Structure 1
Amino acid sequence: MVKIGNHTIGEFPLLLAPMEDVSDPPFRAVCKEKGADMMYTEFISAEGLIRDAAKSVQKLDIYDYERPIGIQIFGEKIESMREAAAIAEAAKPELIDINYGCPVKKVACKGAGAGILLDLPKMQTMTKEIVDRVSLPVTVKTRLGWDDSTIKIVEVAKRLQDVGIQALTIHGRTRKQMYKGEANWRFIAEVKNHPDIHIPIFGNGDVDSPEKALEYKNKYGVDGIMIGRGAIGNPWLFDQIKHYFKTGKKLAEPDINERVQITKKHLDFSVEWKGERKGIFEMRRHYTNYFRGIPNFKPYRTRLVECDNYALIIDTLDEIGSKFQNAYSFAE
């Protein structure tokens, strides 16, 4: 069984990645229901927490049904990250996660996120300061390097392990790649199989099917897999992977009624957490993903994203359930 600190998170845990504007409590709720073993908040700005910025503070919201959960923070100033970690600890997650992987220009080019991969001594010092500041386990999510010429991921892992992190997730791309090209899991395996590395190593990147999850599990020997974009509009992926691991057979794709029901549940969580107006507005980014692949869906998508009345949205979802009964009949 894989443990982080005193927390056992499964024999081969499936983790939901921290994704900005995606991994909020409503999305985490449906992923947890569908088999995610551990989840993380959206990444939270250290400076925002210290300034008590409303958007950053709201991201600290966690619920008992989500546990175990980690709060992820990012920033370029060591002192700010120390204090942000303490603020995050007060929200009582199971662990604190440090983002050393975000490739977005406004983050990385300021020396935060993946930007710190250009300054490994600073990365090590910052991590040690955070580990020393909090009593919770500290973990890290990072990338292979800034670009192909700066891949030092084994050294990164050793440095981080030396200062006390208790698990490491590696996205198999460089910062320069952003989200393009294929993730290179060979480097992730190099870390996992290194004789000096003894903390859990989780792989991340391109896992979007049960077959690929099993292939990567067997081929690269990681302790677990973190899933990001593959779960958007597809929280069933976690259960599908677990079923495939256990039986070697694929679960049928969720039919239209199940898609409608999980969309309603996601909407209800969103309205409950953010209030009706904002909850409806922020749910709009998810409709296309939940009903991906349905032919001639555009008029219904338009209705869903333009409507600001909860009851009418529910009516539209019910109509979709009736209209597209055979939309997923091709599923295995």
Structure 2
Amino acid sequence: MVKIGNIELPEFPLLLAPMEDVSDPPFRRLCKMHGADLMYSEFISSEGLIRDAIKSRKKLDIFDYERPVGIQIFGGDEEAMAMSARIVETVEPDLVDINFGCPVKKVVCKGAGAGVLKDIDLMVRLTKAVVTSTHLPVTVKTRLGWDFDSINIDEVAERLQDAGIKALTIHARTRSQMYKGEADWEHISRIKNNPNIEIPIFGNGDIDSPIKAEEYKKRYDCDGVMIGRGAIGYPWIFNEIKHYFKTGEILPEPTISQRLEAVRQHAEWSTEWKGERVGLIEMRQHYSNYFRGIPHFKEFKRRFLEVFTLAEMDKLIAETDHFYKEHSFAK
């Protein structure tokens, strides 16, 4: 068992990464259904919460079926981070997570996300501001450092633990790498085996298959893994990994019918949360991911992009399912 404060997770838990414009409640619900053990909201600007920005407030929506679930915040001002932590506490998540890892320029330029990697003292002050402002467990997600010449994760891990965080997730890339190149998990292994580190250490980066999850589990000795891009359009990855851990068997890939059912569920929950028109428009980014590698999907994708009602969606899903069954494609 892995504990984050008073939150109990199974041995070697699988976490869904917080991803902007991806890990909203409908997608989190799918991932929970398919085996995710802990999930996070999309990251939320502390300044946006304080300004009462509608988009930021909407991201605070969490539901009991998701639990345990954390809300992730980011920012570069101590007072704003403290105030936003108190706002977050009012919706009663299971934990608060701080984003010190987002490499996107518009975040970094504000001295937030991975931008804080340049100033560990500020990172510690921001963390303490959040820890002292909430009774909830506080966790952090960060990167190895700003670039290869300034990898500082060893100092960061110890100092953030001293500041009161209850778990640390490390994306095994620097900010300068963005999402390119291979993640270097040797740093995660070193942090995990530091005798001064007592909090759970989760690894993130490049986990896209059960075999790789098993390999990294054995090789790097972390307490669990966080999966981001590997789950986009493929929520089945969580149960596939768990099944492989338990049996050593690779589950067959989801069938066309199962992929279509996931799309239908995702669309239904998206419209419940956002309204039918907006929900279906925002679903458009997901279709290519759900049907990646599927033959002859290009024409169906065009039609999915023209859907504006759930009734149209159900009709198109039925036609698509019939087409693939009739032509007996392998997938």
Q: TM-score, length-normalised on structure 2? A: 0.98
Q: What CA distance in whole angstroms lies between the structure 2 residues aligned with 1:247 and 1:303?
A: 40
* d(CA) in 2 for partners of 1:219, 1:195: 18
Deviation at 1:145, TM superposition (A): 0.5
Specify the alignment match of 1:257 in structure 2: 257
Identity of aligned residues (%): 62
Residue 243, structure 1, aligned to residue 243, structure 2: yes
What is aligned with 1:216? 216
User: Secondary structure at the residue paired with 2:132?
Assistant: helix
Provide, for residues 100-150 of structure 1, a one-character-per-residue CA deviation record: whole Å limited to 9, x for no partner: 000000001221000000000010011011101100000000000010011
Contact 1:204 1:227 in 2 (8 A): yes
Alpha-carbon distance, 1:327 to partner? 6.8
Structure 1 position 312, deviation (Å): 1.3
Alignment match, 1:180: 180
User: How far, CA to CA, are the matches of 2:3 and 2:320 in structure 1?
Assistant: 43
- Establish whether residue 148 from structure 1 lines up as the match of residue 159 from structure 2: no
1:18-52 CA distances to partner (integer Å, 9 max, x unpaired)?
Answer: 00000000000000000000000000010110011
Unaligned 5+ residue runs, structure 2?
none
Shift of 1:307: 2.2
Structure 2 counterparts to residues 251-330 of structure 1, below 5 A:
251-325=251-325, 329=330
CA contact (8 A) 2:202 2:222 kept: yes
User: 2:51 and 2:65 mapped to 1: Cα distance?
Assistant: 29
- Aligned mates of 2:277, 2:120 — CA distance in 1: 44
- 1:320 to partner: Cα distance: 1.3
Q: Match for 2:252: what amino acid?
A: A
The equivalent of 2:191 in structure 1 is: 191
Q: Structure 2 CA distance, aligned partners of 1:171 and 1:239?
A: 22
1:328 Cα deviation from its structure 2 partner? 6.2
Q: Deviations over 1:245-287 (max 9, x none)?
A: 0000111111111111111000000000000111011111111
Deviation at 1:329, TM superposition (A): 2.5
Contact 1:16 1:226 in 2 (8 A): yes
**1:9 is aligned to 2:9:** yes
Question: Deviation of residue 222 (structure 1)?
Answer: 0.3
The 5 A counterparts of 1:124-139 are: 124-139=124-139
Residue deviations 1:274-315 (CA, integer Å, cap 9, x gap): 001110111111111111111121111011112223211221
Separation (CA, whole Å) in 2 of partners of 1:292 and 1:103: 26
Q: How many residues align?
A: 330
* Distance (Å, rounded) in 2 between the aligned partners of 1:328 and 1:160: 52
SS at match of 1:240: helix
1:97 and 2:97 aligned: yes
Q: CA deviation at 1:93?
A: 0.3
RMSD of Structure 2 on Structure 1 (CA) = 1.0
Amino acid at match of 1:31: C
Which sits farther off after the overlay, 215-224 or 310-319?
310-319
Cα shift at 1:234: 0.4
Please give the secondary structure, in 2, of the residue aligned with 1:252: coil
Asked if 2 retains the 8 angstrom alpha-carbon contact of 1:169 and 1:201, the reply is: yes
Over 6 Å off, 4+ runs: none
Partner of 1:284, secondary structure, is helix
| Partners of 1:121 and 1:33 in 2: CA distance | 40
Q: SS in structure 1 opposite 2:305?
A: helix
Distance 2:97 2:195 in 1: 24
1:36 is aligned to 36
Shift of the 327–9 alpha-carbon distance from structure 1 to 2, 3 Å rule, reads farther
State the distance in 2 between where 1:226 and 1:146 align.
21
Q: Distance in 2 between matches of 1:199 and 1:329?
A: 45
Equivalent residue, structure 2, for 1:61 = 61
Question: Which residue in the other structure is 1:109 paired with?
Answer: 109
* Matched residue type, 1:329: A
What is the letter of the counterpart of residue 307 of structure 1? V
> 8 Å contact 1:254–1:328 — kept in the other structure?
no
Paired with 2:274 and 2:329, the residues of 1 have a C-alpha distance of 32
Q: 1:328 to 1:14 in 2, by over 3 A?
A: farther
Structure 2 contact 268–310 (Cα < 8 Å) conserved: no
